[in-house]
Amino acid sequence: MRSSAKIVMWVLLISFVGGFLLFQTSGLMGSAPVTSTTAVASVNGRDILYTDWQRRAQQLVQQTQQQSGRTLTQDETRRLDNQAFDDMISELLLEQEYKKRGILVSDAELRDYARFAPPSWVRTAPDLQTDGRFDPSKYQRLLSSAQARQSGLLSALEQYFRSEVPKEKLFEQVTSGLYVTDGDLWRAWQDANDSATVSFVAFAAHQTAADSNVADADLHSYYDAHKAEFDGPGHASISVLHIPRVTTAADTAAVRDHIARLRAEIAGGAKFEDVAKRESNDTVSAANGGDLGKGAKGRFVPDFEKAAYALKAGEVSAPVLTPFGYHLIKVDSRTGDTLALRHLLLRLQPSDSATAKVDRVADQLAKLVSGSDQPTKFDDAARQLGLTPFRVQVSENVPAQYNGKDVPSASAWAFGGAKVGETSDLFDGEDGYYVARLDSIAEGGKTFNAAKAAVRGRVARDRAIERSIPAAQGLATAARGSSLEAAAAAAKLTVATTGMVTRAGAARQFGSLGEAVGSAFVAPLNEVNGPVRQSDGVFVTRTDARRPSDKTRFEAEKKVLRGRRVQQMRDQWIQMYLADLRKSATVKDRRKDLNAQLRRQSTS
């Protein structure tokens, strides 16, 4: 008996140790190191490795930095992290769907696609154009040349089509039953082109304090009935210290003198493009000689646009001051309101001595608070350095803003595993340095507590709308006995008239494209209609005139309309299919846990 008990004890001990080691190394305990085998997510049981996700995200970061010519903020990096993660989830779901449906792609198919259906990035290559159009014969010669293999074109085409061909086969299956009847086309045409003149009285939802006084039980009931509508991002409150980079009058004068010398250089015969490449602080356009492309009005800030449209083709402006700095603008060509522009930008920047002073204060601040988990150190540093904290409310995946300006990287840091009371490292922005302290955070998702404020606001709005209905009903009854204008005047209300407009035009005047607009376009002429309730108020309407859609024009354009509508519906079906695929999948997302774990490892 004693020897049997020993064996049992040894078995229990080995099981305990083995289980404990498995618990530690699997990451279930939350303290195991992140390794090359650590999964950041699983999709229907298939893992996505943390290292693969980070590699994909870093590729996107590098590409974006090369295109923008600058280092990205944490907010921008976080957006690309999310994009890489979502792309990998979608790819894995699609792979699983290909296997489920038996979708395969043969080497022969890949060769045919590569030969006869080159992708857009090949069709637009400058070396494959003849008279401004893609030349298939040039492409075929390139494919059969040694250059195609040596340059990596063949492997790039294979990789592209191995991804795209099965996807296209899947989408063909998903949309195979799509068909648009003449009746469907005509109704869509009518929705877009029917016109009417509508008179209406709007009863806006004016909320009172009593509307927001809602018992928790009622809030829970509303939340349970509309849960999907409140599946939003997280929210946080942060305190921020800012050390600004301030430009003086002398700094501005120095930049103005510099750009005046550059204009004189161009006037003396130097090419605008060469000077822009050498001098412009807009690194993206500078790489192309300051080229801003061709377009109509509305692309630029008012001061810039006013100066540009005052120029003739070939002219270079005098120095133009905008919030971005001083510009020189050149018009390459002009056709009506369409301009092809170049510019050279010199930003307003503080002097070297002023910059050194700001950097010294920033170094002091970093030493006092960076990475601290003691909230009072933030306040002590503010007093010691004479800085005034300001409070910012931030939403997950949205850059923090204060007084219309971005607070760089603060939002990404707050939702990247920071703890309440913790202070960030120093963030370097274009207008100075920032540090942030996390004061509170509510995770996103479907929890009632996270959505409670939004639920209260929705219930309060609905109560206010409901309170407007009796007055609207009284007006409609009185108007049927006299006229809309007479009843409105007696009630000291205003009748608005849309003029002859489409549904979209009416929506702009009603405030939204809701039930009130829809009912006004089908109601009998000259009859009082309503009250009609929609999400932003209650309306009493009268349709004064109606102009039906042009049937002859519809018939003439029907073929084009059908092609456009089929493509639109195909895109909608595919998006709904992909959304359903994601919704029905079992996706376990460990990003927040792993990021928090990495933060702990880096500080331990």
Cβ burial 499-521 (10 Å sphere, 16+ → b, else e): eebbbeebbeebbeebebbbbbb
Predicted confidence band of residue 177 (pLDDT cuts 50, 70, 90) = confident
Predicted confidence band of residue 296 (pLDDT cuts 50, 70, 90) = confident
Phi and psi at residue 317, to the nearest 5°: -75, 165
The predicted-structure confidence for 215-246, as pLDDT tens digits, reads as follows: 888 888 888 888 777 777 788 899 999 998 88
- For residue 539, the domain's CATH number is 3.10.50
Please say if the pLDDT value at position 480 is more than 80: yes
Do residues 124 and 138 touch, judged by C-beta distance below 8 A?
no
Task: Using CB atoms within 10 Å of the CB of residue 434, give its burial: 0 to 12 exposed, 13 to 18 middle, 19+ buried.
Answer: buried
41 forms beta bridges with 48, 589
Do residue 505 and residue 429 come from a single domain?
A: no
Per-residue model confidence (pLDDT) at position 23:
35
* Of 160-169, 245-254, 447-456, minimum mean pLDDT range: 447-456
The predicted-structure confidence for 540-555, as pLDDT tens digits, reads as follows: 999 999 999 999 999 9
Please say if the pLDDT value at position 3 is more than 80: no
Do residues 333 and 313 touch, judged by C-beta distance below 8 A?
yes
Q: What is d(CA 437, CA 387) in angstroms, rounded to the nearest whole number? A: 14
Do residue 504 and residue 424 come from a single domain?
A: no
- Token duo for residue 337: 């309101």
- Given the structure tokens 């707050």, which residue do they identify? 414
Predicted confidence band of residue 363 (pLDDT cuts 50, 70, 90) = very high
Per-residue model confidence (pLDDT) at position 47:
92
The amino acid that residue 328 corresponds to is L
Select from 246, 271, 243, 276 the least CA-distant residue to 259.
276
Handedness of CA 105, 111, 117, 122 (dihedral sign): positive
Select from 243, 451, 264 the least CA-distant residue to 362.
243
Beta strand pairing call for 338-346 and 400-402: unpaired
Do residue 418 and residue 469 come from a single domain?
A: no
Q: In what order do the strands lie in the sheet with 390-395?
A: 390-395, 235-244, 432-442, 427-429
Tell which of 346, 380, 413 closes a domain: 346
Gap between the terminal Cα atoms of the chain: 49
Q: What is d(CA 174, CA 177) in angstroms, rounded to the nearest whole number? A: 8
Please say if the pLDDT value at position 27 is more than 50: no
Do residues 430 and 325 touch, judged by C-beta distance below 8 A?
no
Tell which of 326, 346, 366 closes a domain: 346
- Token duo for residue 470: 């009796």
Asked if residue 483 is part of any domain, the answer here is: yes
Please say if the pLDDT value at position 1 is more than 80: no
- Given the structure tokens 């290559």, which residue do they identify? 125
Do residue 473 and residue 535 come from a single domain?
A: yes
Do residues 29 and 52 touch, judged by C-beta distance below 8 A?
no
Do residue 323 and residue 296 come from a single domain?
A: yes
Predicted confidence band of residue 602 (pLDDT cuts 50, 70, 90) = low
Q: What is d(CA 339, CA 331) in angstroms, rounded to the nearest whole number? A: 7
- Residues 436, 439, 444, 447: what is their CA dihedral angle, to the nearest 10 degrees? 180
Predicted confidence band of residue 601 (pLDDT cuts 50, 70, 90) = low
- Token duo for residue 396: 């997950």
Structural domains counted in the chain: 5
Q: What is d(CA 122, CA 134) in angstroms, rounded to the nearest whole number? A: 9
Beta strand pairing call for 291-295 and 390-395: unpaired
**CA angle (322 as vertex; 321, 323 as ends), nearest 5:** 130
Per-residue model confidence (pLDDT) at position 4:
35
Do residue 406 and residue 467 come from a single domain?
A: no
In eight-state DSSP terms, residue 310 is T
Asked if residue 299 is part of any domain, the answer here is: yes
- Token duo for residue 161: 């089509």
**CA angle (67 as vertex; 66, 68 as ends), nearest 5:** 95
Select from 283, 270, 281, 349 the least CA-distant residue to 316.
270
501 forms beta bridges with 196
Predicted confidence band of residue 582 (pLDDT cuts 50, 70, 90) = confident
CB-based contacts of 447, cutoff 8 Å, min separation 6: none
Phi and psi at residue 473, to the nearest 5°: -65, -40
Alpha-carbon Rg for the chain, nearest whole angstrom, is 32
Q: Cβ atoms within 10 A of the Cβ of 462, count?
A: 15
Select from 169, 148, 174, 161 the least CA-distant residue to 117.
161
Helices 153-174/107-116 angle, 10° precision = 100
Asked if residue 256 is part of any domain, the answer here is: yes
Q: What is d(CA 367, CA 433) in angstroms, rounded to the nearest whole number? A: 14
Asked if residue 190 is part of any domain, the answer here is: no
Please say if the pLDDT value at position 153 is more than 70: yes
| 75-79, 266-270, 352-356 — most confident range | 266-270
pTM of model > 0.75: no
Do residue 453 and residue 315 come from a single domain?
A: no
Q: Which domain holds residue 364?
A: 235-246+352-442
Asked if residue 295 is part of any domain, the answer here is: yes
Q: What percent of the chain has pLDDT over 90?
A: 32
The predicted-structure confidence for 422-475, as pLDDT tens digits, reads as follows: 999 999 887 889 999 999 887 776 677 777 777 888 888 888 888 889 999 999
Task: Using CB atoms within 10 Å of the CB of residue 294, give its burial: 0 to 12 exposed, 13 to 18 middle, 19+ buried.
Answer: middle
Select from 242, 272, 202 the least CA-distant residue to 520.
202
Do residue 411 and residue 338 come from a single domain?
A: no
In eight-state DSSP terms, residue 312 is P
Do residues 315 and 294 touch, judged by C-beta distance below 8 A?
no
Per-residue model confidence (pLDDT) at position 397:
82
Asked if residue 269 is part of any domain, the answer here is: yes
Tell which of 501, 521, 547 closes a domain: 547
Average pLDDT over residues 267-293: 89
Select from 435, 392, 393, 419 the least CA-distant residue to 235.
393
Do residues 359 and 310 touch, judged by C-beta distance below 8 A?
no
| 38-42, 228-232, 503-507 — most confident range | 38-42
The predicted-structure confidence for 318-338, as pLDDT tens digits, reads as follows: 999 988 889 999 999 888 778
- Given the structure tokens 């921008």, which residue do they identify? 76
Per-residue model confidence (pLDDT) at position 603:
59
Beta strand pairing call for 291-295 and 338-346: antiparallel
Asked if residue 88 is part of any domain, the answer here is: no
Do residue 491 and residue 518 come from a single domain?
A: yes
Do residue 356 and residue 400 come from a single domain?
A: yes
Cβ burial 47-73 (10 Å sphere, 16+ → b, else e): ebbbeebeebbeebbeeeeeeeeeebb
Per-residue model confidence (pLDDT) at position 446:
63
- Token duo for residue 197: 């003149």
Asked if residue 580 is part of any domain, the answer here is: no
* Of 32-36, 168-172, 185-189, 515-519, minimum mean pLDDT range: 32-36
Residue 269, H or E segment: none
Per-residue model confidence (pLDDT) at position 540:
93
Do residue 242 and residue 270 come from a single domain?
A: no
**CA angle (418 as vertex; 416, 419 as ends), nearest 5:** 145
* Of 293-302, 388-397, 571-580, minimum mean pLDDT range: 293-302
Do residue 406 and residue 292 come from a single domain?
A: no
